[in-house]
């Protein structure tokens, strides 16, 4: 068949003619396919599915799964085995037969093979025991119920019949100017739902939920022609729209797709996927934008270093082979000490590789990131204090810090030029402070523009105040500069305590403060104008939320409550004035009293140290 590539003009002209011509059904093709259920969950697939269906990060998924495991609701959650015990298989098949009937059971017990490197010490992740109770039957709620439900459905599906799906393609021919244009309409109908049935369990209307998986087409016959009038029998062409198509770059990794790639490449193990993803975020190699993991300038510079000087260490095969050796050590097939000696001190080991790499290292070259097609002659370097732009401006080489929110994928030549120009305007003297007799300066730094009182050379620690979010540097005159540098403002006394309330600008933007309570100003508030009444309202609203997210119970030594809070810098546990941040793999919902006491003891809480010995 001839295929013609149309430009926009041709496509538009054709689209205008097609609704006026007669269309005829040239062919109808149907095929039935069976779809089999996926294997039961292992660590990686649970993380992927929880990310896709529940929008959970890998670490959050493991934290919730840990809680379910500790409470006896699921089996161990760090596993790469898809094996189900005979108890689990019998329980799943019995539950399927009771709920949906024997027709929904697979003809034979389904067994799933694991990868060659899988550790068979644990079976797949499944509901504990043999009763296969639902989330409602065991009284779960919230995110624990949602994750358990995923596991329950996946486990039952493994022992259910295949789904039978009919795919229908209808081909239409329409003649224009002696040429025939062919179009296709695709439909899908579920002939037998099989394991699809358990996937819609919990819906208000399971049958409707199953129908929503279909893509129905009306009854059509070969040779049937279109009707000119919508009131007549037959199909009717309503409109034809020309839509251009351009190829797009691959989608960015999400946590789910990254775990999938790690597993495919043999990098890491079930117990390390969450920590790998947590580490690359903690070290600012990637940042999350929505669900996408977006690499930073630091990531590019680190990648330059590793690929240039230490290429064997970042070779996928090297990492996968190392994992295999570690598995062999775990099975007792390989001696650990000789392997570790060769790994570190051997001719191709870490020590000689690092020594040789450091001797050849050129920091200027390694730290430079350039994309001439997108950035022109501008270069971004990653230095001791973060990434900065380097380029020519008015005949001189100048630099400027990269804004915190700019990533390599968003950088353009125009944006880099604008940042350089703005940063190198030079300080602007707004005037002389009438009381301090010091210059009031408008300056620009790594975190944006700010007002400063006094010169850097003359003052050891000059006062600096960031511009309010809605103020542009070009709008700052002497009067406005004086208002900004006068922050914090005292608004008056709190009506209940008599203590002062202040308005100021901090690292996270404008706020009002009363004692130890900080309340962020809203978009409609102006830090330079906000009054006492509004400040009291914001503070009272914030203080009404100043209750712990969880109370774990009384401390075994003091009887004072051990609480879990979600603070400005992340979640933490609190006891009698001691605060201890949760670890990356711990969450507010899942942290236990024992874990909290360990954190408090490490933080120096004396009462807890007595208990922990």
Q: Using one digit for the tens of pLDDT, what is the confidence trace for 21-65?
A: 999 999 999 999 988 999 999 998 999 999 888 888 888 899 999
Residue 88 near residue 81 (C-beta atoms within 8 A):
no
**Average pLDDT, integer, range 574-589:** 84
Answer yes or no: same fold for 8-36+164-211 and 259-365.
Answer: no
* Structure confidence at residue 507 (pLDDT): 76
Pairing assessment for the beta strands 500-506 and 439-445 based on DSSP bridges? unpaired
Report whether pLDDT(198) > 80. Answer: yes
Task: Please count the CA atoms within 13 angstroms of the CA of 414 that sit on its side-chain side.
Answer: 0
Q: Is the pLDDT of residue 513 over 90?
A: yes
Question: Is it the case that residue 568 has pLDDT exceeding 70?
Answer: no
Q: CATH says 43-161 is which class?
A: mainly alpha
Please tell me whether residue 611 adopts helix, strand or coil conformation. helix
460: tokens are 């050891």
Q: Estimate the share of the chain in helix, then strand, then coil, as percent rounded to the nearest 5.
A: 35, 25, 40
Neighbour-count burial of 158, counting CB atoms closer than 10 A to its CB (0-12 exposed, 13-18 middle, 19+ buried): buried
478 versus 246: the higher-pLDDT residue is 478
Name the E strands within 538-583: 550-554, 561-567, 570-575, 578-581
User: H/E element holding 198?
Assistant: helix 196-199
Mean pLDDT of 381-403: 85
Per-residue confidence band for 483, with pLDDT thresholds at 50, 70 and 90: very high
252-273 per-position pLDDT tens digit: 999 888 988 888 887 887 778 8
Q: Which pLDDT score, from 0 to 100, does residue 74 have?
A: 96
Strands 379-383 and 489-493: unpaired
Closest among 60, 156, 78, 176 to 110, alpha carbons compared? 156
Average pLDDT, the chain: 87
* Domain residue spans of the chain: 8-36+164-211, 43-161, 259-365, 371-418, 428-485, 489-544, 550-612
Query: Residue range 462-491: average pLDDT?
Result: 91
Instruction: Give the model's pLDDT for residue 285.
Output: 94
Angle, helices 255-265/316-330, rounded to nearest 10 degrees: 70
Q: Note if the pTM is more than 0.75.
A: no
Of 188, 194, 185, which is closest to residue 214 (Cα–Cα)? 188
With H, G, I as helix, E, B as strand and everything else as coil, classify residue 431: strand
In 3D space, the residue among 352, 280, 350 whose CA is nearest the CA of residue 322 turns out to be 350
pLDDT at 117: 53
pLDDT digits (tens, 9 = 90+) for 289-348: 888 999 999 999 999 888 887 887 888 788 778 878 888 888 888 999 999 999 889 887
pLDDT tens by residue, 71-88: 999 999 999 889 999 999
Element (H, E) at 17: helix 8-17
Top-confidence residue, 146 or 394: 146
Please identify which of the residues 69, 76, 171, 339 carries the catalytic annotation: 76
Confidence at residue 394, expressed as pLDDT on a 0 to 100 scale: 74
CA atoms within 13 A on the CB side of 60: 17
Q: Which of 193-197, 399-403, 431-435 is least confident?
A: 399-403
pLDDT given for residue 613 in this prediction? 58
The model's confidence at residue 186, banded by pLDDT at 50, 70 and 90, is: very high
CATH of domain 8-36+164-211: 2.70.20.10
Report the candidate in 274, 300, 275 with the shortest Cα–Cα distance to residue 285: 300
Burial bucket for residue 461 (CB in 10 Å: 0-12, 13-18, 19+):
exposed
Q: What's the confidence (pLDDT) of residue 557?
A: 82
- DSSP per-residue codes, 442-483: EEEETTEEEEEES-TTT-SS-EEEEPPTT--GGG--HHHHHH
CATH of 259-365 among 1.10.357.10, 1.10.606.20, 1.10.460.10, 3.30.450.20: 1.10.460.10
pLDDT for position 523: 82
- What are the residue ranges of helices labelled H in 114-179? 142-157
User: Which letter does DSSP use for residue 518 in this model?
Assistant: E
Q: Determine whether 104 is an active site residue.
A: no
Of the pLDDT bands very low, low, confident and very high (cuts 50, 70, 90), residue 612 is low
- pLDDT one-digit tens code per residue, 115-172: 555 555 579 999 999 999 999 999 999 899 999 999 999 999 999 999 999 999 999 9
d(CA 557, CA 134): 39
* CA dihedral sign of residues 14, 18, 24, 30: positive
pLDDT tens string 332-376: 889 999 999 998 898 878 888 888 777 777 888 888 999 999 999
pLDDT score recorded for residue 446: 67
The whole-angstrom separation of Cα 235 and Cα 24 is 10
Residue 553 has pLDDT above 70, yes or no: yes
């Amino acid at each position: 068949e001839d295929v013609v590539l149309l430009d926009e003009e041709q496509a538009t002209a054709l689209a205008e003619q097609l609704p006026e011509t007669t269309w005829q059904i040239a062919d109808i093709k149907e095929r039935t396919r069976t779809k089999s259920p996926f294997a039961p969950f292992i660590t990686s697939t649970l993380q992927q599915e929880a990310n896709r269906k529940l929008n959970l990060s890998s670490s959050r998924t493991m934290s919730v799964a840990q809680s379910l495991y500790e409470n006896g609701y699921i089996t161990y959650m760090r596993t790469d085995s898809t094996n189900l015990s005979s108890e689990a298989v019998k329980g799943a098949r019995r539950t399927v037969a009771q709920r949906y009937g024997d027709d929904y059971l697979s003809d034979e017990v389904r067994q799933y093979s694991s990868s060659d490197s899988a550790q068979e010490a644990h079976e797949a992740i499944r509901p504990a025991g043999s009763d296969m109770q639902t989330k409602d039957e065991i009284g779960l709620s919230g995110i624990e119920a949602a994750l358990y439900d995923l596991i329950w459905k996946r486990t039952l599906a493994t022992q259910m019949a295949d789904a039978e799906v009919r795919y229908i393609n209808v081909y239409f021919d329409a003649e224009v100017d002696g040429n025939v244009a062919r179009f296709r309409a695709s439909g899908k109908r579920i002939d037998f739902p099989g394991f699809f049935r358990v996937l819609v369990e919990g819906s208000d209307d399971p049958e409707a939920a199953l129908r929503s998986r279909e893509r129905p087409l009306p009854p059509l016959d070969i040779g049937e022609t279109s009707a000119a009038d919508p009131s007549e029998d037959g199909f009717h062409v309503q409109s034809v729209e020309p839509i251009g198509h351009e190829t797009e770059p691959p989608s960015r990794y999400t946590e789910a797709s990254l775990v999938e790639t790690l597993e495919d490449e043999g990098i890491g193990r079930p117990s390390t996927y969450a920590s790998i993803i947590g580490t690359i975020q903690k070290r600012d190699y990637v940042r999350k934008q929505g669900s996408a993991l977006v690499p930073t300038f630091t990531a590019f510079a680190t990648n330059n270093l590793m690929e240039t000087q230490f290429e064997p260490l970042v070779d996928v095969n090297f990492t996968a082979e190392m994992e295999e050796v570690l598995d062999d050590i775990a099975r007792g097939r390989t001696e650990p000490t000789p392997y570790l000696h060769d790994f570190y001190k051997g001719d191709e080991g870490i020590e000689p590789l690092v020594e040789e790499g450091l001797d050849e290292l050129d920091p200027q070259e390694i730290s430079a990131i350039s994309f001439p097609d997108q950035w022109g002659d501008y270069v971004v370097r990653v230095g001791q204090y973060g990434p900065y732009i380097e380029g020519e401006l008015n005949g001189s080489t100048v630099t400027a810090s990269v804004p915190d929110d700019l990533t390599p994928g968003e950088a353009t030549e125009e944006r880099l030029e604008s940042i350089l120009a703005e940063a190198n305007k030079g300080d602007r003297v707004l005037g002389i402070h009438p009381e301090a007799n010091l210059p009031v300066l408008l300056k620009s730094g790594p975190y944006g523009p700010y007002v400063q009182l006094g010169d850097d050379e003359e003052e050891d620690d000059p006062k600096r105040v960031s511009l309010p979010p809605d103020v542009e540097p070009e709008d700052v005159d002497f009067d406005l500069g004086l208002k900004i540098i006068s922050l914090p403002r005292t608004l008056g006394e709190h009506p209940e305590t008599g203590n002062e309330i202040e308005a100021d600008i901090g690292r996270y933007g404008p706020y009002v403060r009363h004692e130890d309570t900080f309340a962020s100003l809203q978009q409609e508030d102006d830090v330079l104008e906000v009054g006492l009444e509004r400040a009291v309202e914001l503070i009272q609203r914030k203080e009404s939320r100043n209750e712990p997210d969880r109370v774990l119970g009384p401390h075994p030594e003091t009887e004072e409550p051990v609480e879990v809070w979600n603070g400005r810098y992340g979640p933490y546990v609190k006891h009698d004035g001691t605060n201890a941040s949760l670890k990356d793999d711990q969450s507010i919902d899942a942290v236990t009293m024992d874990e909290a006491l360990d954190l408090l003891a490490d933080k120096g809480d004396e009462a807890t140290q007595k208990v922990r010995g």
